[in-house]
Amino acid sequence: MTIHKEGRLLLFVLLIILFALNWAILYYFPHNAWVQNSVMLASVIFYLLFVQFFRNPVFSITPNDKHVLAPADGKVVVIEETDEIEYLKSRRKQISIFMSPVNVHVNRMPVAGVVSFFRYHPGKYLVAWHPKSSTENERSTVVVKMDNGVEILFRQIAGALARRIKCYVKVGQPFQQGQEFGFIKFGSRVDVFLPLDAKVTVSIGETTKGGRTIIAELP
């Protein structure tokens, strides 16, 4: 387990602020142990909450070009057929994973391939499970073309709390399956659009682990 690069500066600054706060409590309330201990306990809990949010688990991945891996930790909230109108412009199976503030927020490649399309869209901040969040919220769309020519589209979507989407891809860049491609701060959602002949292997409400849970199988 490591701390993700997106959180290192924030955690350092937060540590200084909390240290200064506790020093001030000791200075202004030198004889009030209850206040000192309460503030210290609250500071530790608050800091640990931020640490767990920016945690970045380390694990090995066994590549398989027939498997589609979950791009994020979270809960499956949508499994349906829909029309993908931005790039693929065809009927697809959509799987959406909601990431709560307590989930790991590293986003990982569901398949191996080369990035064939990338676009960032500014937008609204509807709650991530809102039906229109996929098309109206701030979002980043990524398409990866596999070696067999199949293209898989996935979309990072901001939510009511998530206001910073980080996507580390560029068109033409190769990625391995399970490799990190982005990060979303403070809860959000990731949509994956698959061919209609893909076999979905998860169900609504199921918990996923990014880079480990198999969410679908390709023919």
Model confidence pLDDT, tens digit, residues 134-192 = 556 788 999 999 999 999 999 998 865 555 788 899 999 999 999 999 988 766 889 99
Number of domain units in the chain: 2
Shared domain for 185 and 88, answered yes or no, is: yes
Using 50, 70 and 90 to split pLDDT, how confident is the model at 104? confident
Calculate the average pLDDT of the chain.
88
Q: Which domain holds residue 192?
A: 67-217
Residues 138, 119 contacting (CB under 8 angstroms): no
**How would residue 133 be classed by pLDDT, with cut points 50, 70 and 90?**
low
pTM: 0.83
Summarised one tens digit per residue, pLDDT across range 70-85 is: 999 999 999 999 999 9
Q: Are residues 10 and 47 in the same domain?
A: yes
Going by pLDDT thresholds of 50, 70 and 90, the confidence category of residue 8 is confident
**φ, ψ (nearest 5 deg) of residue 8:** -65, -45
Q: Is there a single domain that holds both residue 51 and residue 76? A: no
Active site residues: 188
Is 193 part of any domain?
yes
pLDDT at 129: 54
Give how far Cα 207 sits from Cα of 40, 43, 219, Å: 34, 30, 24
Q: Are residues 42 and 88 in the same domain?
A: no
The percent of residues above 90 in pLDDT, for the chain, comes to 58
Task: Report residue 101's pLDDT band, with 50, 70 and 90 as the boundaries.
Answer: confident
Torsional sign, CA 50, 56, 164, 135: negative
> Is the pLDDT score of 23 beyond 90?
yes
CA distance 84 to 87: 7
Give pLDDT tens digits for 187-208. Answer: 688 999 999 999 999 999 999 9
- Going 102 to 120 to 160 to 206, the CA torsion angle's sign is negative
Structure tokens at 27: 């200075």
Residue 154 belongs to some domain of the structure? yes
Q: Kindly state whether residue 61 falls inside one of the protein's structural domains.
A: no
At 115, which CATH number?
Answer: 2.70.70.10
Specify whether 189 is located in the same domain as 106: yes
Residue 38 lies in a domain: yes
- Rounded mean pLDDT of 96-103? 87
- Is the domain of 97 the same as that of 168? yes
